[in-house]
Amino acid sequence: MTQPRAAACAFLCRILCVALAAAATAAAQSPLPVTDDGKMNFPAGYREWIFLTAGLDMSYSEKIDPGMHSMFDNVFVNPEAYRAFLRTGTWPDGTLLVLEGRGAGDKGSINRHGKFQSGDPMNVEVHAKDTKRFAGGWAFFYFEGREPAGQIPVSENCYSCHLQHGAVDTTFVQFYPTLLGVAKDKGTLLPR
């Protein structure tokens, strides 16, 4: 091998080593869209992610609040996490499940019976997985607008409820009809 060719090979090897080191460093950092102060950035574009399910007027309370307005809950997941779940029946680090609440209307246009989703989102919550960052591997974030959101304290009921009732890895796969069969087939579904 000529000296210029050897120098070029050595140079390319150094570039490859630097690129691999940068990739390893990036992989060691959080896979989530977080700010320097630990808040989560609003999941822009989540409505283009995989739609998992919608619920109408779901409540985990025994009591019914007569003053409660009717509401749809829509659940979306980032595409990478969805594909990993299809392969394994489990959620990888970097999973973002977005719960979007929208008002349920019953009077509009030609509708005479039933309900439809109306208006802008009333709330957006995120259930995020990062086993290196969060105790228990998961955290919840509640967004007021599109500003970064802080983590909901682990003392809140959402953590214990998901731990107690989540069918797969603290998530409510029992309400995601397209993934329920996957979890059963992969043996990751807990009896709930």
pLDDT of residue 66: 65
Annotate 88-133 with three-state secondary structure. HCCCCCCCEEEEEEEEEECCECCECCCCEEEEEEEEEEEEEECCCC
* Residue type present at position 192: R
- Structure confidence by residue, pLDDT tens digits, 17-27: 433 343 333 33
pLDDT of residue 16: 37
The pLDDT-based confidence of 3 (bands split at 50, 70, 90) is low
The pLDDT-based confidence of 32 (bands split at 50, 70, 90) is confident
pLDDT of residue 18: 38
Q: What angle do CA 143, 146, 148 make, to 5 degrees?
A: 65
- Structure confidence by residue, pLDDT tens digits, 161-183: 999 999 999 999 999 999 999 99
- Structure confidence by residue, pLDDT tens digits, 84-119: 999 999 999 999 999 999 888 778 888 778 887 788
Sequence-distant (≥ 6) Cβ neighbours of residue 69 within 8 angstroms: 103, 104
* Domain ranges (residues) in the chain: 1-30, 33-186
Whole-angstrom distance, CA of residue 73 vs CA of residue 53: 8
pTM (predicted TM-score): 0.79
Confirm or reject CATH 3.50.70.20 for domain 33-186, answering yes or no.
Answer: yes
pLDDT of residue 156: 94
- Structure confidence by residue, pLDDT tens digits, 121-161: 889 999 999 999 999 999 999 999 999 999 999 999 999 99
Query: What ranges in the chain are assigned the alpha helix state H?
Result: 3-28, 79-88, 157-165, 177-186
